[in-house]
Amino acid sequence: MPIDAWPELPLAAWKDTYQLLHRCMQIPGKLCLALAPKRNHFWQVAYHVSARGLTSTPLPYGDGTFEFRFDFIEHGVVIETSSGARRGMPLVTRSVSEFYSELMAVLGALGIDMHIWNMPVEMPDPIPFDEDHVVRTYDAEMANRFFRVLLQADQAFKAFASRFVGKQSPTHFFWGSFDLAQTRFSGRRAPARPGADRMTRESYSHEEISVGFWPGTEGICDASFYAYAAPEPDGFRTASVHPAAAYYSEKLGEYLLPYEAVRRAAHPRERIVEFCQSVYEAGAMLGGWERAVLERGPETGATVVEDVHVST
């Protein structure tokens, strides 16, 4: 039976798993923040989609490197080093404090002695990792569904990215906001945000248009693709964007395209790229971007492939 590339992903069906992963993935993420050489917009801290899950950047330690992988096929966390060492631990129903203790023990066994600020970020009512004793369910099927959606979104965003020759981010997964994102820049600095903290100042230092996939938040929306411009130009929120299911969320200040509408479409990846392109065009036109020097011509633009059949 073929794997469903576009599975259902209702937020209510995996709330506990989502909350567990959101917290646990921040722990290696904070090690990235501590060890990886700084890049603009904190790109060094993000995970990247791989064939089995989400993988960190290689992290320098001593004379070598190590990296983390959250494997959503065999459901475990794998730590590998440039010396050839490899350790793993399971993704299972447990508390964050148990995960934190085991992860630190595994790192210690590999000779990696690290200390991090143990407070999760970008979530309501955070509890320090080592004090969070709430047992949360890990549903392997739902975690794998989430991963399969990330695989598809990653390919769609990379196709969209191929149309742009200006500065743009990798397609990467941020463990704080728990979303897959890809960002384009106009090349101009953005106005300073009053009262912005260090993270926000760096993240929004230049004019940008971002697209991404987010599994949603209770009381706001289910899984959705999103797109926004920062700073937002006049007229942006009333622009005509596609496909028809897309809408502007006043609460979030960005456009949303429900994942459910995408997965039911005849050509889901094409609908994602259509959404990204239409919101980008609205933001770039209204924001006065120099599109002629930032974009590829139509003959070298993206090709979105839905199904590839290879015979040998």
How far is the C-alpha of 179 from the C-alpha of 186, rounded, in Å?
22
| Domain end point (choices 136, 169, 199) | 136
pLDDT at 199: 74
Asked whether residue 157 falls in the same domain as residue 231, the answer is: yes
Tell whether 259 is covered by a domain: yes
Asked whether residue 123 falls in the same domain as residue 55, the answer is: yes
pLDDT at 299: 55
Asked whether residue 99 falls in the same domain as residue 167, the answer is: no
pLDDT at 15: 96
Asked whether residue 292 falls in the same domain as residue 157, the answer is: yes
Q: Is the pLDDT of residue 309 over 50?
A: no
Question: For residue 310, what pLDDT band results from cuts at 50, 70 and 90?
Answer: very low
Q: What is the pLDDT of residues 71-91, one digit of tens each?
A: 999 999 999 999 999 999 999
Tell whether 1 is covered by a domain: no
Tell whether 132 is covered by a domain: yes
Asked whether residue 126 falls in the same domain as residue 164, the answer is: no
Asked whether residue 171 falls in the same domain as residue 115, the answer is: no
How far is the C-alpha of 22 from the C-alpha of 176, rounded, in Å?
8
Tell whether 310 is covered by a domain: no
Q: What is the pLDDT of residues 122-177, one digit of tens each?
A: 998 999 999 999 999 999 999 999 999 999 999 999 999 999 999 999 999 999 99
Asked whether residue 172 falls in the same domain as residue 263, the answer is: yes
Structure tokens at 224: 């959705």
| Domain end point (choices 79, 109, 136) | 136
Asked whether residue 57 falls in the same domain as residue 108, the answer is: yes
How far is the C-alpha of 163 from the C-alpha of 294, rounded, in Å?
9
| Domain end point (choices 104, 136, 168) | 136
- Number of domains composing the chain: 2
Range of the structural domain that residue 44 is part of: 11-136
Q: Choose among 160, 175, 223: nearest CA to 55.
A: 175
pLDDT at 1: 39
Beta bridge partner(s), residue 168: 184
Q: Greater confidence, 33 or 94?
A: 94
How far is the C-alpha of 63 from the C-alpha of 51, rounded, in Å?
28
End-to-end Cα distance, the chain = 21
Structure tokens at 241: 């964007």
Among 42-51, 213-222, 297-306, where is mean pLDDT lowest? 297-306
Tell whether 141 is covered by a domain: no
How far is the C-alpha of 53 from the C-alpha of 154, rounded, in Å?
12
How much is the average pLDDT of 36-63? 93
What are the residues whose beta carbons fall under 8 Å from the beta carbon of 298, sequence distance 6 or more? none
Asked whether residue 32 falls in the same domain as residue 103, the answer is: yes
- The chain-wide mean pLDDT, for the chain, equals 93
Asked whether residue 29 falls in the same domain as residue 103, the answer is: yes
Structure tokens at 211: 């697209």
Structure tokens at 284: 């770039």
Question: For residue 298, what pLDDT band results from cuts at 50, 70 and 90?
Answer: low
Asked whether residue 94 falls in the same domain as residue 161, the answer is: no
Structure tokens at 222: 């289910």
Distances (CA, A) of 6 to 44, 128, 156, 290, 294: 29, 35, 13, 36, 32
pLDDT at 308: 45
pLDDT at 312: 38
Asked whether residue 121 falls in the same domain as residue 184, the answer is: no
- For the chain, the three-class secondary structure string (H helix, E strand, C coil) is CCCCCCCCCCHHHHHHHHHHHHHHCHHHHHHHHHHCCCCHHHHHHCEEECCCEEECCCEEECCEEEEEEEECCCCEEEEEECCCCEEEEECCCEEHHHHHHHHHHHHHHCCCCCCCCCCCCCCCCCCCHHHCCCEECCCHHHHHHHHHHHHHHHHHHHHHHCCECCCECCCEEECCCCEEEEEEEEEEECCCCCCCCHHHHHHCCEEEEEEEEECCECCCECCEEEEEEECCCCCHHHCCCCCCCCEEECCCCEEEEEHHHHHCCCCHHHHHHHHHHHHHHHHHHHCCCCHHHHECCHHHCCCCCCCCCCCC
- How long is the chain? 312
Tell whether 288 is covered by a domain: yes
Tell whether 172 is covered by a domain: yes
Tell whether 146 is covered by a domain: no
pLDDT at 127: 97
Token pair 């995960």 in the structure block, residue: 99
